[in-house]
Amino acid sequence: MFANSRTVGSAQTGPHDKLAELVNRHRDAVFRKPLAAYSAAAFEAAIAAWRDAGAAPLIIDAGCGVGESTLRLATQFPDHFVIGIDQSESRIVRGKDWWDGVWPENFVWVRADLVDFWRQLFDAGIRPARHYILYPNPWPKIGQLARRWHAHAVFPTVVALGGVLECRSNWDIYIGEFALAVEWLSGVRPAVEAWSPEDAGVAPITPFERKYLASGHGLHRCVVTLPPAALPLASSG
């Protein structure tokens, strides 16, 4: 039952024809969504853990799910500190008996609204060294464009945070759109490529990555090194 994931199905055959319009609108607009009630405390707890650990170069694991990617990133980058963020408390606190190694000490998991957390990072002047968005929900229907991260109102803030930004997906169109949105907002062209953990000599980093590989899916990634505050924001709050 493990290798039974269906490939992404969509009527789209290339980048959405409304993507540029939406990205430009978000770049120029004031984003006024109120913070969730629990966001301030969640952010403060995560940043306190980072500072207590010495405020090492920061890695953001956005949408970490059950947290495997957070543990693997913390192990891969022992001189960094990783904050794994997910909106689902049940996923974060779920048992970790699948992890058979020594737990790294340079990480924390936090339940938070990603939209809020990104904006709070920006407003606090905290810039990650590395930033991962791994296998987000692709929202592949044509009418779902605005639900994709690169077409969301918060995406100019994500790009403005700077650092090495990496997104992975099993849908090549998602990665192509992500790269276009990053370039339009920053002027920096990302690298887009097929991704194979085996060819790179590393283990799959998330349960989705492992399942997609076992199901025979093609994997794709976008990687770009961005300067902090790559563009002026009308407002981040």
Please tell me the pTM assigned to this model.
0.92
Give residue 237's pLDDT. Answer: 41
Task: For residue 58, give every residue at least 6 positions away whose Cβ sits within 8 Å of its Cβ, in sequence order, or none.
Answer: 50, 80, 81, 82, 83, 126, 127, 128, 129, 130
The full set of domains in the chain, from first to last, is 57-94+101-226 (3.40.50.150)
Could you tell me the mean pLDDT of each successive run of 10 residues in the chain, 237 residues long? Answer: 76 94 92 86 96 97 95 96 92 81 92 95 94 97 97 96 97 98 97 93 92 93 86 42
Task: For residue 123, give every residue at least 6 positions away whose Cβ sits within 8 Å of its Cβ, in sequence order, or none.
Answer: 236, 237
Residue closest to 166 by CA, chosen among 206, 111, 216: 206
Give residue 235's pLDDT. Answer: 41
Dist CA 234 CA 237 (whole Å) = 9
- In tens, the pLDDT along 9-42 reads 899 989 999 999 999 999 988 888 888 888 899 9
